[in-house]
Amino acid sequence: MSEAVRAKSAFHKYWIILSTRTQEDMAYRANYVFGAIFRFLPLVTMIFLWWAIYDGRKTSGASPLIGGMSYEDMVVYNALMYVARGFSSVPGTMSDISKDVKDGLLNRYLIKPINYLWYQVMYRLAHKLVFWYIALLTFPPIFFLMRRYFTHWPTLWECGAFVVSLFIAFSIGMLFCSMIGMLAFWFLEISGFLFVVMMLEFFMSGQLIPLNILPAYLHQVLFFSPFGYEGYWPCVILMGKVPEDQLLQVLLIGFVWVGIFYGLSRLMWKQGLKRYSAVGG
């Protein structure tokens, strides 16, 4: 069989997985609609919280900026975080992989002519396709209502860098969650560890607060970490907070982390299978 035929056959397999899973999720599209709308409710709380903080600074005569960000910037940042995390967040990946390993359910995939990690990618990507199909209908009205907070019109370069950063966000999120899930090859019960990792990722990705308002030494460390690409960097790129002459550097660092995580995930998978006992399933 020629390389072209094998490549076409492999693509077809994963396309079937993607399309089948997408059709399954579309059967529950009402859940996605309500989820896409109500996920913005915490944003209302954040708007009032940051208003109180900035109003207090204004009353005390302090600078109206925090880490170079105005109140409007902070609201926009938190709104754009829903877009960034819509790509980087792959809920259930860690627990599903660890469960497959722990309960021996991995057997059903090992005997099939598919790559388990690529299967997981297609499975999660289907969820993203349905989510963004619904989000494209529900997000624009919400952002339109918030239009007065958007004071920066992104340039063509910033829009392009933003799209690339979303690809990096999904790649890092997927690979990182896969690696954490594969720790079950060595530690069968990792549920407590998963909670700690998720909380750290929540903070280090900038989802809790923007990384640039942290102390300088901590911000410098997180500048080179992979987790900022899961939330912080896509947001500040579209907000125009990254100088255009630094966009390429930021994206290159992101791609380096994607390469590192890909290599580590392949190594963990190879070494993990040597320890896999295939009990259950």
Task: Please report whether residue 236 resides in a domain.
Answer: yes
pLDDT grade for 60, boundaries at 50, 70 and 90: confident
Mean of pLDDT values over 17-23: 75
Instruction: Mark 134-163 as b/e (b = at least 16 C-beta within 10 Å).
Output: bbeebbeebbeebeebbeeeeeeebeebbe
In a domain, 144, yes or no: yes
As given in the structure block, the two tokens for residue 269 are 């998978």
Cβ burial of 133 (10 Å; 0-12, 13-18, 19+) is middle
Q: Which range, of 31-35, 66-70, 74-78, 176-180, averages the lowest pLDDT?
A: 31-35
- Note down the domain range covering 70: 3-275
Is the pLDDT at 28 greater than 70? The verdict is no
Higher per-residue pLDDT: 277 or 280? 277
Is there a domain that residue 280 lies in? no
Report the number of distinct structural domains present in the chain. Answer: 1
Q: Does residue 281 belong to any structural domain of this protein?
A: no
In a domain, 263, yes or no: yes
**Mean pLDDT computed over 219-223:** 80
Of 18-32, 74-88, 105-119, the one with minimum mean pLDDT is 18-32
More confident residue, 31 or 112: 112
Q: Is the pLDDT of residue 33 over 70?
A: no
41 in any annotated domain = yes
pLDDT in tens, 135-179: 788 888 888 888 999 989 999 999 999 999 999 999 999 999 999
Mean pLDDT across 14-43: 71
| Residue 233 maps to a domain | yes
**Count of beta carbons in the 10 Å neighbourhood of residue 279:** 10
Residue 166 located in a structural domain: yes
Q: What is the pLDDT of residue 43?
A: 81
Give residue-wise pLDDT tens across range 227-268.
999 999 999 999 999 998 899 999 999 999 999 999 999 999
